[in-house]
Amino acid sequence: MKLVFLGPPGAGKGTQAVRMAQEFGVCHASTGDIFRQAAASGSELGRAVSDYLDGGRLVPDELTSRVVEEMVVARADDYILDGYPRTLQQARDLDQMLRLRNEELDAVLYFELDDEAAVRRLTGRLVCSECGENYHREFMPPKVAGVCDKCGAPLKARSDSSEDVVRQRLAEYHEKTRPLVGFYEERGLVERVDASAPPDEVTRRTHAVLARL
């Protein structure tokens, strides 16, 4: 099973990727985790990744694809790619990797969520100032407003949760990543999942899609 999970920020594709990887016994490969593993390895490729991460810069397409190939595609038979590909060039790179191995994707799951729902989800996120426990004003509120259930410390808004930052992320998604849906739809690979429901219901829908592949 070789899968790509696509969707806008806030759609919960990372949550679903973790759950499905556990359910089906496959590798969950998120770009962030892969970058951190590569950087920690001390390899030549890892040092190149570290240079970008340490400088707060985006890792370019070519290097991102090399990392995914070395850390995932060349090592695992079954995986869910979460956060890759992010651009059309990365999608073409992935095609090339698979073609060289006489392999192909089984499906691309597209988690659909409109922008306003994404903004509401992402701007409502809270984090404990002490223990790091996560909350949400609307969907997962603390028992006492502004106070962590776990340690009693004050909660604060996440630094990446301002509306301006969220809308900027959504704009970048629509420009760079949303075109991948059409790219994969032309090949009959896209399975759409309505991500507007609570996470457990989205999990049920996702499982139903994968069970019939």
Which residues does the annotation mark as catalytic? 13, 86, 125, 158, 169
Strands of the chain, DSSP E? 2-6, 27-30, 79-82, 107-112, 125-128, 134-136, 155-157, 190-194
The structure tokens listed for 118 are 């994404």
- Report whether 23 contacts 207 (CB < 8 A): yes
Distance CA 55, CA 108 (A): 32
Pairing between strand 79-82 and 125-128? Answer: unpaired
Closest of 1, 3, 9 to residue 191, by C-alpha: 3
For 186-213, letters b (16+ CB in 10 Å) and e give eeebbbebebbeeeeebbebbeeebeee
Q: Encoding tokens for residue 75? A: 């090592």
b/e burial code for range 149-169 (CB count within 10 A of at least 16 → b) = eeeeeebeebeebeeeebbeb
